[in-house]
Each structure stands twice: as C-alpha cells, then as structure tokens.
C-alpha cells in the first residue's frame, strides 16, 4: 500500500457554469489529440518544474505523506482512495450527482467524456514524459502506498488529478447549479493520491492546473464545442441540466 491541497480552483474561473455509474469509460490509446494541434498545449510553458528529489521541498513532501498516513488514513478514507485509484474517469467525479446522471442513458454525453478522457490522458502523458519526476515511494521505501505498480518516473503531474479537474470543469459547465459539489469532489479525488502515497502534493496541484488549462483550450475548438453542446442539449431534454 502506498500515496493529495490543491491550487485554488481554476475551474471556477474557466467554466462554472451516489452510486458509481454503471459502465466504465475506457481511456483511448493516448496517441494523439482529437481536438488540439501540436503546440496548442505545451505543459512546459505553464507548469513549473518540480523540485529535485533531494531538495528541501521534496523531502518535506515525503514527510507530509507520512503525516497523512497517520492522521488522515482512516479505513473509510483509505477505501475511498483505493477506489479512486482504480476508477480513473468521470464516474469518480459524477458520483456526487447520483443515479440520474447515467452515461448509459446519454450517448452524446458519454461520447463527450470518452473524448475528454483521451485528451487528458494525452496531455498528462506528454507532461509526465517531459518532467520525468520519480514517485515519492522510490525515494522513501517506508511509505505505505495503495499501489506501487506505477511507472516510477511519471509522478508529475498527477494523471488522476488532471482527469478529475478536467472532468469537473466540463461537468460544472454542463451543470452550473451543481458546480460547487462537483469541484469539491474533484478536490477530494485529487487528495486521494496523497492518501494513497503515490504522489507529492505538488503533483496534484500541477494536475489541477493542467486539467483546467486543457479544458480552457478545448472549449475554443469548434469540434469540442459541438460535442459539449450536444451533451448539454441531451441533459437539458432530460431535465438533468438547466
């Protein structure tokens, strides 16, 4: 068992506006973006480099994970963190909306979030490959982590946090009346990465920035806007969204 505070919610600036969903949303093979051109999203231009593994900030980051393991890792919170580790798609964020929001009922909405999942995967993997930060448990074998099967050089930014905040930004755009609970769930979902001990806090903060910048870029693209509006029309017709 191994490895989340986050930058102020950029999603509120960018987009505001119960049960786990029945079917998972598969991540497409993260090869290319469907909507963005090369150069539209370069993480190196807006994400600061993470501290080196022996820097004081990194040492303190690992110490924080030990403190979290003692103070915040209740059996219930750990179970939630493990679930969040396994379910890396919009279902984990939309669970606060209850059973009415079911992608089985809304094919246009399902398509939107499947494509968004591909986009956040492409963006996160590009950033991870650029920064090549080692996971905290590689430098501190005493950390008790949920899952140590992760690639050891892909800690920054957190892919889960990137997905969570991107999904939350789009959900909040579609359902502005539920924006507060959606964004709170994204923050809690990101925090699970610290409960699990698989990321530094800076990793999830960077994931928040990346997820929100990604969506800000996507909503400028007509093809993505078309999918967004199709989902909005579908949810509005079902009285799920205003």
- The pair of structure tokens assigned to 123 is 């963006």
Say how far residue 147 (Cα) sits from the centre of its chain: 17
Which of 18-22, 37-41, 116-120 shows the lowest per-residue confidence on average (mean pLDDT)? 18-22
CA distance 119 to 34: 7
- The pair of structure tokens assigned to 208 is 């928040």
Ramachandran assignment for 142, one of left (phi > 0), alpha (psi -120 to 50 degrees), beta (any other) = alpha
The chain-wide mean pLDDT, for the chain, equals 88
CA distance 206 to 54: 19
Ramachandran assignment for 97, one of left (phi > 0), alpha (psi -120 to 50 degrees), beta (any other) = alpha
CA distance 106 to 114: 12
105-161 tens-digit pLDDT:
999 999 999 999 999 999 999 999 999 999 999 999 999 898 767 668 899 999 999
Which residue shows structure tokens 């994204």? Answer: 186
Q: Report which of residues 36 and 16 the model is more confident about.
A: 36
Q: Delimit the domains of the chain by residue range.
A: 10-24+50-237
**8 Å CB contact between 239 and 144:** no
Would the pLDDT of 184 be above 50? yes
**8 Å CB contact between 234 and 113:** no
The CATH number for 10-24+50-237, chosen from 3.90.79.10, 3.40.50.880, 3.40.1280.10, 1.20.144.10, is: 1.20.144.10
CA distance 45 to 170: 23
Which residues are within 8 A (CB) of 73 and not within 5 positions of it... i.e. 6 or more apart? Answer: 81, 195
């Amino acid at each position: 068992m191994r490895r989340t505070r986050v930058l102020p919610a950029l999603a509120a600036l960018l987009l505001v506006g119960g049960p786990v969903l029945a079917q998972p949303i598969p991540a497409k093979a993260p090869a290319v973006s469907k909507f963005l051109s090369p150069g539209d999203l370069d993480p190196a231009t807006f994400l600061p480099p993470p501290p080196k593994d022996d820097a004081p900030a990194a040492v303190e980051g690992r110490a924080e994970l030990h403190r979290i393991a003692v103070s915040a890792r209740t059996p219930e919170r750990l179970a939630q963190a493990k679930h969040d580790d396994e379910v890396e798609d919009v279902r984990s964020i939309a669970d606060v909306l209850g059973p009415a929001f079911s992608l089985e009922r809304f094919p246009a909405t399902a398509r939107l979030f499947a494509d968004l999942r591909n986009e956040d995967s492409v963006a996160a993997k590009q950033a991870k490959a650029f920064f090549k930060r080692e996971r905290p448990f590689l430098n501190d074998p005493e950390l008790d982590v949920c899952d140590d099967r992760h690639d050891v050089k892909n800690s920054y930014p957190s892919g889960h946090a990137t997905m969570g905040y991107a999904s939350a930004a789009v959900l909040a755009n579609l359902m502005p009346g539920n924006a507060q609970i959606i964004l709170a769930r994204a923050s809690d979902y990101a925090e699970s990465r610290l409960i699990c001990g698989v990321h530094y806090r800076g990793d999830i903060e960077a994931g928040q920035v990346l997820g929100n910048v990604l969506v800000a870029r996507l909503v400028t693209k007509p093809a993505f806007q078309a999918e967004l509006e199709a989902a909005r029309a579908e949810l509005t017709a079902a009285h799920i969204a205003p």
